[in-house]
């Protein structure tokens, strides 16, 4: 048994999942004779979302164990861990679409739609001591100089600025570790019109930014990047102004770092060491994002 308040949240998650499943079913359709199992896909998603969100269990084995010990009165057809895990892995497309629904339909009203923060976070599938063989179609080896570690995939976030609060996702992308942040920005987001982007120094490109202002009335603001070969006298004259500007930009974009820390704390999304396939890596990423952002729906 679980406390009444948690039982209420379990019911809310179940009804929300059932309501959205009219659309989600097209992303995980069953075309075999076994298209109506005793434990429905909606129930599988509900168990995962509830246990991770409310109990903080990140591993599927622990989620299934909790459900078998405390939720059997709710889901008497739960079945074995192996069957539960296999069913969960088949719901990749449904979790992907659910994340889109959660961040789009439940966007807070205080979002600054013309101001965006962007950055990336490493997803670690194995240590840097060996060459990773997992999910080679979408992952390869890279090095994060900030944290001093090797990783294999990146989570890129484009977020709407919210004054005094955590930013809200506008778009979410996953890329191999070798893909640079500037490439993702230029290819995916630079053509958005009427936006002010706040990023770190890696996004600094004066010529490209000038083209953005002319074509799309958008610009990228970053801390000032030191220009090589600049005369020392000029450096000293503009240092105070550059430092003030850099500090202001850094303060505005600091909440996206807090958002990454929140995702790590709530969903442990950065660690994917148990992943063994491309499908498994995508399932890991999207279902943990769904379990984090389900808070907006309940």
Sorted by where each begins, the domain ranges of the chain are 4-90, 110-275
Q: What is the pLDDT of residues 205-248, one digit of tens each?
A: 888 999 999 999 999 999 987 766 665 666 666 778 788 888 99
- Is residue 126 over pLDDT 90? no
pTM of the model: 0.84
HEC per residue, the chain = CCCHHHHHHHHHHHHHHHHHHHHHHHHCCCCCCCCCCCCCHHHHHHHHHHHHHHHCCCCHHHHHHHHHHHCCCCCCCCCCHHHHHHHHHCCHHHHHHHHHHHHHHCCCCCCEEEEEEEEEEEEECCCCCCCCCCCCCCCCCEEECCCCEEECEEEEEEEEECCCCCCEEEEEEEEECCCCHHHHHHHHHCCCCCCEEECCHHHCCHHHHHHHHHHHCCEEECCCCCCCCCCHHHHHHHHHHHHHHHHHHHHHHHHHHHHHHHHHHHHCCCECCCCCCHHHHHHHHHHHHHHHHHHHCC
- Over 80: is that where the pLDDT of 150 sits? no
| Residue 165 contacts residue 254 (beta carbons within 8 Å) | no
Place of tokens 């499908």: 279
Closest CA to 287 of 267, 265, 261: 267
Q: b/e for 38-67, b at 16 or more Cβ within 10 A?
A: ebbbbbbbbbbbbbbbbeebbebeebbebb
Report whether 200 contacts 223 (CB < 8 A).
Answer: yes
Angstrom distance (rounded) from CA 66 to CA 59: 11
Residue 130: the pLDDT is 57
Q: Which two tokens stand for residue 211?
A: 């083209």
Mean pLDDT calculated for residue range 122-135: 64
Q: Has residue 255 got a pLDDT over 60? A: yes
Q: How confident is the model at residue 46 (pLDDT cuts 50, 70, 90)?
A: very high
State percent of the chain over pLDDT 70.
83
- Judged by average pLDDT, the poorest of 52-56, 121-125, 285-289, 290-294 is 121-125
Whether the Cβ atoms of residue 280 and residue 90 lie closer than 8 Å to each other = no
């Amino acid at each position: 048994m679980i406390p009444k308040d948690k039982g209420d949240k379990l019911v809310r998650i179940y009804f929300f999942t059932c309501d959205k499943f009219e659309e989600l079913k097209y992303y995980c359709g069953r075309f075999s004779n076994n298209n109506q199992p005793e434990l429905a896909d909606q129930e599988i998603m509900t168990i995962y979302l509830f246990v991770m969100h409310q109990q903080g269990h990140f591993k599927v084995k622990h989620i299934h164990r909790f459900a078998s010990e405390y939720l059997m009165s709710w889901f008497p057809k739960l079945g074995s861990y192996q069957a539960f895990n296999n069913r969960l892995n088949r719901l990749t497309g449904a979790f992907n679409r659910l994340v889109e629904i959660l961040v789009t339909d439940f966007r807070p009203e205080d979002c600054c739609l013309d101001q965006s923060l962007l950055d990336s976070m490493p997803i670690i599938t194995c240590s840097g001591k060996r060459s990773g063989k997992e999910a080679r179609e979408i992952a390869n080896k890279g090095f994060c100089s900030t944290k001093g570690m090797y990783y294999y995939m990146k989570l890129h976030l484009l977020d709407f600025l919210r004054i005094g609060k955590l930013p809200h996702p506008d778009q979410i992308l996953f890329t191999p570790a070798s893909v640079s942040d500037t490439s993702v920005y230029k290819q995916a987001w630079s053509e958005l019109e009427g936006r002010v982007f706040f990023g770190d120094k890696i996004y600094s490109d004066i010529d490209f930014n000038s083209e953005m202002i002319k074509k799309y009335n958008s610009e990228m603001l970053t801390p000032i990047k030191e220009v090589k070969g600049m005369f020392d006298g000029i450096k000293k004259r503009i240092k105070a102004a550059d430092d003030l500007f850099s500090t202001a930009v850094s303060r505005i974009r600091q909440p996206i770092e807090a958002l990454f820390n929140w995702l790590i704390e709530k969903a442990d999304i950065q660690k994917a060491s148990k992943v063994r396939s491309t499908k498994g890596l995508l399932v890991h990423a999207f279902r943990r994002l769904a379990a984090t952002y389900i808070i907006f729906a309940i």
